Amino acid sequence: MSTIDVRGLGHTFGDLRVLKDVSLQAPGGTFASIVGPSACGKSTLLRVLAGLLVPDEGTAEVGGVSTVSRPGLVSYMPQKDLLLPWRRVLGNATLGAEVGGIKRAEAKRQAGALMERFGLAGFERAWPSQLSGGMRQRLALLRTFLAPAKTMLLDEPFGALDAITRREMHGWLQSVLGAEQRTVLFITHDVEEALLLSDRVYVMSPRPGRIIADVPVTFPKPRPSGAVLAPEFIRLKAELLGALGG
Ligand SMILES: Nc1ncnc2c1ncn2[C@@H]1O[C@H](COP(=O)(O)OP(=O)(O)O)[C@@H](O)[C@H]1O
Ligand SMILES: [Mg+2]
pLDDT at 227: 93
Closest-approaching ligand to the CA atom of 38: 1
pLDDT at 246: 59
Question: Rounded CA gap, 243 and 204, in Å?
Answer: 9
Q: Which residues contact 69 (CB under 8 A, 6 or more apart)?
A: 51, 54
Counting Cα atoms < 13 Å in the Cβ hemisphere of 101 gives 5
> Which atom of ligand 1 approaches the CA of 40 most closely?
22
Strands 151-155 and 75-77: parallel
Question: Pocket of ligand 1, candidates 43, 46, 79: which has the most ligand atoms within 8 Å of its Cβ, to mutate?
Answer: 43
Task: Please give the angle made by the CA atoms of 15, 20 and 26, to the nearest 5 degrees.
Answer: 140
**Whole-structure pTM value:** 0.94
pLDDT at 134: 87
Q: How many angstroms does the Cα of residue 7 sit away from the middle of ligand 2?
A: 20
Q: Which residues contact 42 (CB under 8 A, 6 or more apart)?
A: 34, 36, 155, 187, 204, 209
pLDDT at 33: 98
Measured by CA distance, the residue closest to atom 25 of ligand 1 is 39
Closest-approaching ligand to the CA atom of 22: 1
Q: How many angstroms does the Cα of residue 245 sit away from the middle of ligand 1?
A: 21
**β-bridge partners, 22:** 9
- Collapsing DSSP states into helix, strand and coil, what is residue 26? strand
Question: Rounded CA gap, 74 and 141, in Å?
Answer: 13
Sign of CA dihedral 145, 148, 149, 153: negative
Give the helix/strand (H/E) hosting 89.
helix 89-93
Closest-approaching ligand to the CA atom of 52: 1
Type of residue found at 237: K
Burial of 179 (0-12, 13-18, 19+ CB in 10 A): exposed
pLDDT at 178: 80
Q: How many angstroms does the Cα of residue 79 sit away from the middle of ligand 2?
A: 6
Q: Is 34 in the pocket of ligand 1 (CB under 6 A)?
A: no
Measured by CA distance, the residue closest to atom 10 of ligand 1 is 13
Measured by CA distance, the residue closest to atom 4 of ligand 1 is 13
Cis preceding-peptide flag for 222 (omega within 30 of 0): yes
Provide the residue-wise pLDDT of the chain in tens; the chain has 246 residues: 789 999 999 999 999 999 999 999 999 999 999 999 999 999 999 999 999 999 999 999 999 999 998 988 999 999 887 899 999 999 999 998 888 889 999 999 999 998 988 889 999 999 999 999 889 989 999 999 888 888 999 999 998 888 888 888 898 899 888 877 799 999 998 999 999 999 999 999 999 999 999 999 999 999 998 999 999 999 999 999 999 985
Measured by CA distance, the residue closest to atom 3 of ligand 1 is 13
Q: Which residues contact 87 (CB under 8 A, 6 or more apart)?
A: 95, 128
Q: Is 137 in the pocket of ligand 1 (CB under 6 A)?
A: no
pLDDT at 200: 96
